[in-house]
Structure 1
């Protein structure tokens, strides 16, 4: 980087403009001469509201505000680190590290010390084109402690790339290195503090909380981040959020503020939320907790943000123990040997103060009461552990290590060179060292991934008032080692803070209101379930082959229902089928043995065997109705039996028509009769009817399916009905319609032939068979439209067997009876006599 081409007239922006210079104080706590100076910004005094400085060019007097003990404690940590580096470290051999420390009064005094640090020894800050070779008063700045002040300071220092390491400002805005390239910090960002809080609440099942925030950037930013985090999971809901009134400098409230605070406390009393998260600077909470005690609010879990998690002044309000359990998020505890003694060491106890490098000093470098008041708090500060002070301590060491690298230091010597801010900043980004057992380095966002701890306020443990009860690891984003929490509740039980109690397994949530944490628990209905892996708002339906009772967490396997061999209806139908098979087989043998006889020929001759063959096969195949359905079984039920029955009915219809035609119509229509005989009319009719029936069956099968189905029994959900396709009944009805039509036609021809010779008059037998077939088929279709399940299968096979038995016994039975027991009637002479008698009656 080159020298600037042009230098504008120097602009005096120092203390002469802001507030006239004062003589240097002899108090070495705020200033230490050295080869390289560090700037320190700490809040030793605090005024939450602060007077307005918009109309006067005057720096506020911080000593007029309330003392902040923790601020002085942090300043002492910086002095302790510098002294340790100068006296006991090989980091900067042959060099002295000095400092200039300024009290920033929390928010009131930020700009003046920054300009002081940026100025040179002559108190002038020149306006240049290029500040690459500009050397300000300090090489780096440690602090300040809060995000709002840090933002103001960082906006100045980033323009000069002057390294700034804050030890307590956690705002996530500082992770934007485009905007804050020179700002680093030795504390995890706000997102990790928020995550630790959320995981703590999730661990104890607190999903109904109250959020109280201060009316400043700290409160608003952190509450917004908490709300965004809670919106990601919908596991925790905010019952209400309120802004705490900011007290006046004298810690009083205006009437409006007091009324507002009373409304907040009333809501705290009335809400069912017992966990209160508070984002606020500690000085704004003194009045609030004083009123909490007055209102006698108890049984609450207070979760403190890092700004007041280990505040000794609030801890001294010992009556707070009665309000509930106090938990806080803060940095890890790191013992610093010798710091407790150093914190209260008076100037005269140490080495004499060195000569100041200038006769001028900046404002707010005095705190007359700091040491005395800190001494009164030294016990609690010591026993609380060095938490945030370690962040200051490690920040100073980070600068020292960067200087060590930049100056090419060895164990005994450092090159004393001009340190440009931007070059030191590069080295700070690269530091990686171990300090008191912790690894110190900066990640890509400029943060040191230090462990956070959840601490509890314990008034019963004066030697350990803030013990750690859990640890949070930023690299893992995980809360671990939760233990030893003493709950200020009955029997030391974990307080409950839930809008609605968690639903039991087997229940689902039904939202109530706008909060996802508020709901009713509804039992899962039969046939549905919910277990640990299910959606909390939905009961999952059971798979088709399973079922569940009300409020079940799983489904049980349902019993499959189908026709089985050991059941009484099956045995009965099997006996009927065996009877039909044997009688049909016997008929076949009889007809085969007496085939030339007139009785067999009058019954149909060869066509009888066309009927007896399908009957035998049908009886033999009735087993397909028993057992679990399969594609083959369903195919037989839908096609085979109906085709067999159609063949039989067609043969009977054709035979009835032929007899009636021969005796009553042949002589009137001789040509038609000749055509019927020549082209084998009966067989052609049977073939035609069978072909039509096959077309109907194939159409039904293509329109539905032959695959079996499993469906719930409407009367018993524990049972699954295994059957052929549900549309099978529709196909059966359609198939039966043709058989019914043939039955009616066959019955009509038989009735017309009731006056025929006795040997040819089969009206009674055919009428009986066809009537039975008609009524049984209609009954089956009616039954299937009303009932379901195994009963339908039983009825189906029973009707099928009975229909075939009606043909076997009703049609062939009488003929076999005559053949076997009246052989004299099975002669040609007997048949001729019957025909002659019929002819004579007609004439």
Structure 2
């Protein structure tokens, strides 16, 4: 015997052991004869703890427990749908649907009805290797209402692939079709119910909530789903989560349960969270809400799960209106014509079952008080609309449409034939029909994507007790608001439920404690900003070219600081540069015209042009100091000007050395002098100095960069100083040191030649130029070590122009003066006489 067959055999023996023979009951509430039978599992009575029956080997009597009004209402929906289909001439013409309905007592009576449906009419379940052609008592099962019971029943029915369409079990476990291949649902899964809750809380800016769950699989599973969803959201935190004590079947709480209940109520009294989400069966909440009223808890917003969102018995506790606002998630409202009247009509006994033996009956197929109690809640049930009722109604119609396709029905008749459950299951997956204006089908997980409603409890007898305020679409995963909420608060203001008040723009959240919803507001410092869409807990630094003030949410571009033409210092230095350019150009032309004269030759001859040309180019390039720096202007500032200036200094230095050598050292070191003349010593010296200079400049630029950068003004962060590079000043100081050395050497040689003839004595002019160069360079270095910003560029600009002017006018100016105004002194005879006079004085 195979393991599965052995298991079914044992369950069958248990069925006979538990089932007590009962008399035949012709009760059309639970049984209707037909060609094809549907099984129905509903909770008409409920024992909340559902464990007392485990103490003895007997099926519990459900009518000993408290009645569940909604359960009977749903059972009536199945009966109404079957009778409506039987009276319809187009869906299943000539076919009579029947039903067997059993009260599952919430969780206490699940196995026995499952076995009852599996067995054949003779109460036997044969042991077979292949059940493909096996005909159980029913061809499909509608229900039960809760996930735990649905899973239990499905574990039995799935072995036989008997279609099971549940109307209210929302557990995500049921989406696993490998485990539950025959399970279908006419309600969205728990994930969609949770998503509707979360979007509701996000809409009203509630981020501080309390979660209460029942001590069963329903409460624990949905509480865990909500917690996981909130972790992914990150915007909503749970202040605390507690497990509600489940009362005994007598609805009394023991000492331990009462202590636990008091602890929960005390936390609700003192917590700052105003939103309470409750996942629990409705029968476990009666005592809880009585205690809430007794403790006089007010100002709360209660969010109900689908299990009690439209429970008329809880709604009948009218004192609950003083505890706050009640919102709930439930299936959409669809009015079913004729059902309100059918729900409270008396049963007509005596239905016959043609071509069948006497109908069987099992325990828990009686409810003497059901109709009377339902009549007392008829007004609430009618005004609330047919919500879960429509899920039962559509489940029956789904089976009927699948049967319609199997029996190849037309408008007149159907071909009656044996319908095996597994064939019906295949057709159920493919049904797609319209029912009361709704397009119905099953998705890949076996769920029917019905709309969900967010409802608010009302206690005005003239209104719908469960008024829709929003609608959630499982396909679009979006909540749409259709009505305003009537808040039970002063001035109808939306309740605030936040661990911390919202921060002002430009304030970041500093976490306090473990919850991200609890924080302090800290101002973002200047230079930082807050992008709430990216990160609410950290102020982001502004990019280098931008800045921000305190509490800014964006950065603005800094004001760029650089030397501009309209500034007074720029205009003054530009005038000096223009003077230097035109005066140098004039000197160049004068020297070119009088190149063969003794005055030009005594000044250096052709070497003068080696000085004048760089001077002229340098004066022409001084505009690179003005305007925003670029790679080219930085190159000119760091390389071109310092090379030109060094050329001039090296020429002056070699010229002063040459004068001393001619008049004092020629006769002492004749060979050295001859070598100096033969190998063009002056030009070799200038080239050597230039090689050293250019090597230093190139190394400095390679070590840093010539690309301009921006630096924050230390005195004003709103200003960005544009400069060449961070080590610009260091490179400038390094180059100045070499120029200082040349100035000092030139000054020394010039001082040594102070006693030379007047026409050849250039010591005072060289001394003046070198002294000015030395002084300006020292001043620039001192200024750069103290100040920063555009002033450094201005000072560098000024010193560069003045140094070139000192050479141009200080060295060449006096000679031009002599050439232009004393031409008689610019003759070989005059120069020879001056030399002879100097020689005679020395003798």
TM category (shorter chain) comes to: over 0.9
Give the superposition deviation at 1:819.
4.3
Counterparts of 1:288-299 in structure 2 under 5 Å? 288-299=288-299
Shift in alpha-carbon separation, 1:795–1:8, aligned structure 2, 3 A: closer
Give the superposition deviation at 1:30.
1.2
Distance 1:461 1:208 in 2: 33
Shift in alpha-carbon separation, 1:569–1:209, aligned structure 2, 3 A: same
1:258 counterpart = 2:266: no
Please name the residue that 1:418 is paired with.
418
Please name the residue that 1:621 is paired with.
621
- Structure 2: runs of 5+ lacking an equivalent: none
Give the superposition deviation at 1:154.
0.5
Distance 2:12 2:581 in 1: 125
Shift in alpha-carbon separation, 1:562–1:359, aligned structure 2, 3 A: closer
Distance 1:28 1:209 in 2: 47
Q: CA RMSD in A?
A: 2.3
3-state DSSP of counterpart to 1:602: helix
Counterparts of 1:134-153 in structure 2 under 5 Å? 134-153=134-153
Please name the residue that 2:198 is paired with.
198
Which digits, 9 at most, give the CA deviation of each residue in 1:188-211, with x for residues without a partner?
A: 111111111111111111111111
Please name the residue that 1:747 is paired with.
747
712-721 or 105-114, larger mean C-alpha shift: 712-721
Counterparts of 1:583-622 in structure 2 under 5 Å? 583-622=583-622
Shift in alpha-carbon separation, 1:693–1:96, aligned structure 2, 3 A: same
Give the superposition deviation at 1:35.
1.7
Please name the residue that 1:70 is paired with.
70
3-state DSSP of counterpart to 2:52: coil
Counterparts of 1:505-520 in structure 2 under 5 Å? 505-520=505-520
Please name the residue that 1:380 is paired with.
380
Shift in alpha-carbon separation, 1:576–1:265, aligned structure 2, 3 A: same
3-state DSSP of counterpart to 2:466: coil
Provide TM-score, normalisation by structure 1.
Answer: 0.95
Is the Cα contact below 8 Å between 2:304 and 2:327 reproduced in 1? yes
3-state DSSP of counterpart to 1:467: strand
Shift in alpha-carbon separation, 1:357–1:778, aligned structure 2, 3 A: farther
Is the Cα contact below 8 Å between 1:11 and 1:125 reproduced in 2? no
Distance 2:839 2:6 in 1: 148
Which digits, 9 at most, give the CA deviation of each residue in 1:43-63, with x for residues without a partner?
A: 111110134333421111111
Give the superposition deviation at 1:797.
1.1
Give the superposition deviation at 1:614.
2.2
Give the superposition deviation at 1:648.
1.3
Would you say how many aligned residue pairs link Structure 1 and Structure 2?
Answer: 838
Shift in alpha-carbon separation, 1:229–1:420, aligned structure 2, 3 A: same
Which digits, 9 at most, give the CA deviation of each residue in 1:357-390, with x for residues without a partner?
A: 4365210111111111111111111111011111
Distance 2:89 2:799 in 1: 107
Distance 1:351 1:58 in 2: 29
Please name the residue that 2:486 is paired with.
486
Give the superposition deviation at 1:658.
1.1
Please name the residue that 1:354 is paired with.
352
Distance 2:282 2:760 in 1: 119
Is the Cα contact below 8 Å between 2:12 and 2:115 reproduced in 1? no
Please name the residue that 1:686 is paired with.
686
3-state DSSP of counterpart to 1:54: helix
Is the Cα contact below 8 Å between 2:48 and 2:246 reproduced in 1? yes
Shift in alpha-carbon separation, 1:161–1:654, aligned structure 2, 3 A: same
3-state DSSP of counterpart to 2:434: strand
3-state DSSP of counterpart to 2:38: strand
Give the superposition deviation at 1:590.
4.3
Give the superposition deviation at 1:827.
4.7
604-613 or 302-311, larger mean C-alpha shift: 604-613
Please name the residue that 2:440 is paired with.
440
Which digits, 9 at most, give the CA deviation of each residue in 1:599-619, with x for residues without a partner?
A: 333222332232222222222
Give the superposition deviation at 1:149.
0.7
Is the Cα contact below 8 Å between 2:163 and 2:424 reproduced in 1? yes
Distance 1:150 1:467 in 2: 29
Please name the residue that 2:701 is paired with.
701
3-state DSSP of counterpart to 2:107: coil
Is the Cα contact below 8 Å between 1:19 and 1:57 reproduced in 2? no
Please name the residue that 2:133 is paired with.
133
405-414 or 795-804, larger mean C-alpha shift: 405-414
Please name the residue that 1:467 is paired with.
467
3-state DSSP of counterpart to 1:800: helix
Which digits, 9 at most, give the CA deviation of each residue in 1:759-813, with x for residues without a partner?
A: 3333333222212212211222332233222211110111011111222232233
- Structure 1: runs of 5+ lacking an equivalent: none
Distance 1:9 1:606 in 2: 124
Please name the residue that 1:555 is paired with.
555
Counterparts of 1:63-142 in structure 2 under 5 Å? 63-142=63-142
Please name the residue that 1:282 is paired with.
282
Is the Cα contact below 8 Å between 2:89 and 2:412 reproduced in 1? no
Distance 2:150 2:221 in 1: 14
Give the superposition deviation at 1:466.
0.6
Distance 2:336 2:241 in 1: 39
Is the Cα contact below 8 Å between 2:215 and 2:243 reproduced in 1? yes
Is the Cα contact below 8 Å between 1:13 and 1:124 reproduced in 2? no
Give the superposition deviation at 1:640.
2.1
Distance 2:500 2:819 in 1: 89
Is the Cα contact below 8 Å between 1:212 and 1:241 reproduced in 2? yes
235-244 or 50-59, larger mean C-alpha shift: 50-59
Is the Cα contact below 8 Å between 1:187 and 1:450 reproduced in 2? yes
Shift in alpha-carbon separation, 1:573–1:61, aligned structure 2, 3 A: same
1:323 counterpart = 2:320: no
Distance 1:209 1:526 in 2: 35
533-542 or 448-457, larger mean C-alpha shift: 533-542
Distance 1:252 1:670 in 2: 131
240-249 or 569-578, larger mean C-alpha shift: 569-578
Give the superposition deviation at 1:713.
2.0
Is the Cα contact below 8 Å between 1:95 and 1:414 reproduced in 2? yes
562-571 or 377-386, larger mean C-alpha shift: 562-571
Please name the residue that 1:46 is paired with.
46
Please name the residue that 1:633 is paired with.
633
Give the superposition deviation at 1:89.
4.1
Please name the residue that 2:735 is paired with.
735
Distance 1:6 1:677 in 2: 124
Is the Cα contact below 8 Å between 2:211 and 2:278 reproduced in 1? yes
Is the Cα contact below 8 Å between 1:10 and 1:125 reproduced in 2? no
Provide TM-score, normalisation by structure 2.
Answer: 0.95
Distance 2:122 2:681 in 1: 134
Give the superposition deviation at 1:594.
4.5
Please name the residue that 1:835 is paired with.
835
3-state DSSP of counterpart to 1:354: coil
Distance 1:5 1:319 in 2: 55
Which digits, 9 at most, give the CA deviation of each residue in 1:658-714, with x for residues without a partner?
A: 111122211111111111122222222223222332333333333333332233222
Distance 2:147 2:290 in 1: 27
Which digits, 9 at most, give the CA deviation of each residue in 1:232-289, with x for residues without a partner?
A: 2212111111000001111111111111111111111111111111000000001111
1:642 counterpart = 2:642: yes
Counterparts of 1:218-233 in structure 2 under 5 Å? 218-233=218-233
Shift in alpha-carbon separation, 1:731–1:461, aligned structure 2, 3 A: farther
Distance 1:266 1:6 in 2: 53
3-state DSSP of counterpart to 1:470: strand
222-231 or 603-612, larger mean C-alpha shift: 603-612
Distance 1:485 1:10 in 2: 55
401-410 or 278-287, larger mean C-alpha shift: 401-410
Distance 1:540 1:576 in 2: 47
Give the superposition deviation at 1:418.
2.2
Please name the residue that 2:541 is paired with.
541
Which digits, 9 at most, give the CA deviation of each residue in 1:472-510, with x for residues without a partner?
A: 111111111342211111211111111223333322222
Give the superposition deviation at 1:462.
3.7
Counterparts of 1:660-675 in structure 2 under 5 Å? 660-675=660-675
292-301 or 10-19, larger mean C-alpha shift: 10-19
Which digits, 9 at most, give the CA deviation of each residue in 1:695-743, with x for residues without a partner?
A: 3333333333333223322222222222223333232222222222211
3-state DSSP of counterpart to 1:53: helix
Which digits, 9 at most, give the CA deviation of each residue in 1:559-596, with x for residues without a partner?
A: 22221222110111122223323433443444445544
3-state DSSP of counterpart to 2:101: strand
